[in-house]
Amino acid sequence: MAADERAAEERAADDTNSASLSIACFIHSLHGGGAERVMAGLTSRLAERGHRVSLITFDDGASDRHVIAPSVQRVPLALSVDARGLLAKFRQVRARHHAIADAVERLRPDVVLSFCDRTNLDVLMATDPSGPPVVVCERSDPARQSLGPFWNAVRRHQYGQAATVVALTETSASYLRPFSKSVAVIPSAVDRPPLTSDREQAGARKRIAGVGRLEPEKGFDRLLIAFAQATSDDPSWRLVIYGEGTQRDALIAQAKSLGIDDRLELPGWVRPLAEPLSQATLFCLPSRYEGFPSALLEAMSLGVPSLSVDCESGPRVIIDHGRDGWLVESSVEGLRGGIETLIADVRQREALGRAGMGIVDQFGWDTMVDRYEQLLRDVVRERPSTKRS
């Protein structure tokens, strides 16, 4: 290649890396959850960097629990989600795809960014392959979170149409590579907290905290059993689980059957969470599988000693066992043993909490946004025909 041609290419690359992008971001809703928190934070920060960002959700936006920057264009599609019967569900999916296609046509973005498995499939199926490139992001462990036989097959096919698939960990990326031509690994981020845990007061409270949707995959049913067993000799310990979901009544009934209903608190959705979470003696993540758990990152950033099941995706990447957190076998027995260990060994527990605060340097927002921004620029540069005229 001639020197003048090489210089021209370098100038074009520099122009692409300095120009603002028009980015259409899709997610099912902003109704709580770790993926929604990250999407809200990512879109806000991309907009603050001068990009033209739209955030499109399938709901009507009335139940938003995460705040976005005023410079982000909020586009709620207000689509129905209560279809029953095969024909009604088919019509619902078709209406969703029409709404997605119309939004992309109206917004004319340089690139589309989608979060979460089923949303990713809807966006890929609704958009024109000759249109703007689509980047899709898995926010859990796709090897463990089945969409059912039909949608699993659709995912294997449709992910081949994405410009890039983003995984949270290398474990998840390995699962996705056989059916995607381009897979990137970008972990989640955690905010630097506005406060740190007062460990003298938190230790005296004898409170174990959990955070997450009250759904089967989050494993709170087995946390209740482990807690009941580990604290049977000291009923002054309490368990508080922040979050909402379909399993609330089942967990209350289970707590009664275990004789710990007077020691369980379910405050529901609480935001901001930093202050109440900082009061915990110990944080526990009992999930059956995870992506890159925001709650674990948040607890560690506050200086709350944190215990987690040893999921291949997420916790194993976040926690350095025995130094800044405690990993246990993914079972009731593992959780019980971990709780017993950290209740008994105060010195070890508090050392974990102090070391855990370094997580904000390892998984900071600037690093994550930098990587997304560069990825979006790269896929646009590879598809120059999609740029705005």
263 in a structural domain? yes
**168 and 273 together in one domain:** no
User: Is residue 43 pLDDT above 60, yes or no?
Assistant: yes
Residue whose C-alpha is closest to residue 40's, from 315, 287, 365:
365
**59 and 164 together in one domain:** yes
Report pLDDT for 384. Answer: 58
d(CA 236, CA 164) in angstroms, rounded, equals: 51
User: Is residue 385 pLDDT above 70, yes or no?
Assistant: no
Report pLDDT for 112. Answer: 98
297 in a structural domain? yes
Task: Find the mean pLDDT for residues 343-364.
Answer: 96
315 in a structural domain? yes
Tell me, what CATH number does 134's domain have? 3.40.50.2000
**168 and 289 together in one domain:** no
DSSP state of 385: G
4 in a structural domain? no
User: HSE of 233 in the Cβ direction (CA atoms, 13 Å)?
Assistant: 4
d(CA 9, CA 57) in angstroms, rounded, equals: 37
The answer to whether the CB of 77 falls within 8 A of the CB of 46 is: no
192 φ/ψ angles, rounded to the nearest 5 degrees: -70, 125
User: Is residue 6 pLDDT above 80, yes or no?
Assistant: no
Query: Does a cis peptide bond (omega within 30 degrees of 0) precede residue 272?
Result: yes
- Count CB-CB contacts under 10 A for residue 268: 12
User: Is residue 312 pLDDT above 80, yes or no?
Assistant: no
**151 and 108 together in one domain:** yes
SS3 365: helix
Per-residue pLDDT reduced to its tens digit, 234-243: 999 999 999 9
Length of the chain: 389
**281 and 318 together in one domain:** yes
326 in a structural domain? yes
Per-residue pLDDT reduced to its tens digit, 106-134: 999 999 999 999 999 999 999 999 999 99
Residue whose C-alpha is closest to residue 119's, from 64, 168, 59, 170:
59
At residue 5 the predicted structure's pLDDT band, cuts being 50, 70 and 90, is low
Per-residue pLDDT reduced to its tens digit, 67-81: 999 999 999 999 867
5 in a structural domain? no
Q: Which domain holds residue 145?
A: 13-189+364-386
What average pLDDT is seen over the chain? Answer: 92
112 φ/ψ angles, rounded to the nearest 5 degrees: -110, 135
SS (H, E, C) 19-72: CCCEEEEEECCCCCCHHHHHHHHHHHHHHHCCCEEEEEECCCCCCCCCCCCCCC
**333 and 375 together in one domain:** no
**261 and 369 together in one domain:** no
**309 and 171 together in one domain:** no
Helix residue ranges, H only, 320-364: 332-344, 346-356, 359-362
Q: What is the DSSP string of 238-255?
A: EEEEE---TTHHHHHHHH
pTM of the prediction? 0.85
**40 and 79 together in one domain:** yes
Per-residue pLDDT reduced to its tens digit, 148-177: 999 899 999 999 999 999 999 999 999 999
Per-residue pLDDT reduced to its tens digit, 243-280: 999 999 999 999 999 999 999 999 999 988 999 999 99
**160 and 219 together in one domain:** no
**173 and 216 together in one domain:** no
Residue whose C-alpha is closest to residue 38's, from 75, 68, 62:
68
Q: What is the domain count for the chain?
A: 2
**53 and 17 together in one domain:** yes
Q: What is the DSSP string of 147-179?
A: --HHHHHHHHHHGGGSSEEEESSHHHHHHHGGG
User: HSE of 189 in the Cβ direction (CA atoms, 13 Å)?
Assistant: 19
Please give the share of the chain, as a percent, with pLDDT higher than 90.
81
Tokens 């938003």: give the residue.
64
